[in-house]
Structure 1
């Protein structure tokens, strides 16, 4: 059919439909088959599920390589690696959120599942806006590059600040403008309860689980400010940008349950990520002023993979005697 061959953001509509169908199938399989019941997800199951999502992302990259060529394939894998690595910081912050709201592990997968659905929509909006800006005003890539360099340098040299959720402006705003229950009500985001003690009139109340969901979405929005410019610095193809982002994020829920107790073992990875962000930001300027065009995709993938691998190995070696965090 002609409609399937219609170009949408530079790619035939059937490619976008195939990608979205695959994502939908993975989400239905995750929620409808693997997690039909509220139960704590064990470490072994989490590792298997995380490996499954990583394999799905890598296989999709092979399909991209086959359909769009080696350069597009390497760009996809570079973006996938960067987004997957940045998601480790998400794991740490999400762990703090669940601890703050005292969310049992049996209910955490529900928050993360709906959080990922929100991420799919938010990333689509951000990437769509980014693609439009870059298409209309190429110089915005230099802003992305400068921002990534500054972000990387900040990660390298500035000390980490304490994360105090009680002082978060968004959380305080939600608590002021919503009726929020004092405790969880199983896995419900909203419940109908009396408007006040002794009243027969019932109204909708938000639960702490809903506040946790809002904070998870906020965390992704904050991290997307780094990851979206990073992938645009690699390629301006919206299809590569979006698919690499989403396939990396799809496994975040499984990754969280697999790594939440040992995330401290990856402390030094942030320095490798900082160097990656500086390199990716510099790529824009190197491509235009040194390489007389784009930096070769093979070089980008090799440097990114090398830095991240070194960060992981060094972190595991330095923290080899550190006990597992208590959950």
Structure 2
């Protein structure tokens, strides 16, 4: 248990440090993030995620402080890992476990990172609808990520607690993901729009707080003649947080289709979220080129939902986490390549 807490809080300490750096300890000036800067930061975040894969591959047993075969069996049973342990060979079984643990993590990371792209479509729409200056995007997104980390922490461990008590919840998740996938496919060409004045979050905030009519630099709050206001930039942040809450309802159940270990769900989710800011700046001007991506994401959700409903049958025929990863990467690759090979015709 001591190692488990050390592993987890060490991860949290790393996240806090990186968010502090990202928030501007070394770069406090508001500026429009360039494509080059976004590409470098995206590469760094992906490198961190891959480095964590290596850590789990080499020392994954430390996550739950496994010291003997009985404990390994219990953890495997509790988290429904689809692996076969070797009786009377603890060392070999532990290697199988660590390999699978790392694979579940990286598969969850790919799922969350892919679904985050759909989130970027909406973020671009939010910023443009509210007329946010590009130099303030970074500040809003970093604070948005901090809120997302806190919400995901609560959602993931609550979800894991419910699944451990009521395994049938997985079937509800599966049905929901299939429904979401079908809805995304049907509405793939629907033009999305945001009305800043009539958005439910804006109406709610305006009802209880005085809202300043214009942006005041990068401030979220403003005081004038003794009266306190919230600024439109805070409204944008609240709308983005609300949007992430909606996306979390899809993405978190999707990762539970790969692993039932709440720590792995959390790790993969958070690394993908931390890379979301830099990915936003990387894709903001070219995301419209990937017009088949929504179709790919809809099929991704359908596959994950079906996998949740049929997980016992799939396990019986030898379907592993590696097979899931191959299918997920294949779906994403086909949708991206198709978008580039068959560009959308201009209206």
User: Normalising by structure 2, what TM-score?
Assistant: 0.84
Which residue matches 1:154?
183
1:43 to 1:290, Cα distance in 2 relative to 1, 3 A: closer
Moved more, 83-92 or 167-176: 167-176
Match of 1:184 among 209, 215, 223: 215
1:264 CA drift (Å): 0.4
The runs of 4+ residues in structure 1 deviating greater than 4 Å are 320-323
Matches of 2:346 and 2:251, distance apart in 1: 30
1:295 CA drift (Å): 3.7
Which residue matches 1:199?
none
SS at match of 1:162: coil
Which residue matches 1:121?
150
Alignment gaps of 5+ in structure 1: 6-11, 195-201
1:65 CA drift (Å): 2.1
Matches of 1:130 and 1:138, distance apart in 2: 11
Matches of 2:24 and 2:207, distance apart in 1: 35
Matches of 2:339 and 2:26, distance apart in 1: 32
SS at match of 1:165: coil
Moved more, 16-25 or 233-242: 16-25
For the pair 1:65 / 2:57, whether they are aligned, the reply is yes
Matches of 2:166 and 2:281, distance apart in 1: 41
Which residue matches 1:198?
none
SS at match of 1:235: coil
1:136 CA drift (Å): 0.9
1:272-311 equivalence runs, <5 A: 272-292=296-316, 295-311=319-335
Which residue matches 1:50?
42
1:319 CA drift (Å): 2.2
Cα pair 2:45 2:275 within 8 Å, conserved? yes
Q: Deviations over 1:8-51 (max 9, x none)?
A: xxxx1011022112212222222335532111111111111111
1:322 CA drift (Å): 6.8
Alignment gaps of 5+ in structure 2: 61-97
Which residue matches 1:4?
2
1:241 CA drift (Å): 0.2
1:67 CA drift (Å): 2.2
Number of residue-to-residue matches in the alignment: 308
Cα pair 2:175 2:309 within 8 Å, conserved? no
Matches of 1:322 and 1:265, distance apart in 2: 11
1:1-327 equivalence runs, <5 A: 4-5=2-3, 12-68=4-60, 69-159=98-188, 160-166=190-196, 167-194=198-225, 202-292=226-316, 295-319=319-343
Matches of 1:165 and 1:241, distance apart in 2: 34
1:290 CA drift (Å): 4.3
User: Normalising by structure 1, what TM-score?
Assistant: 0.89
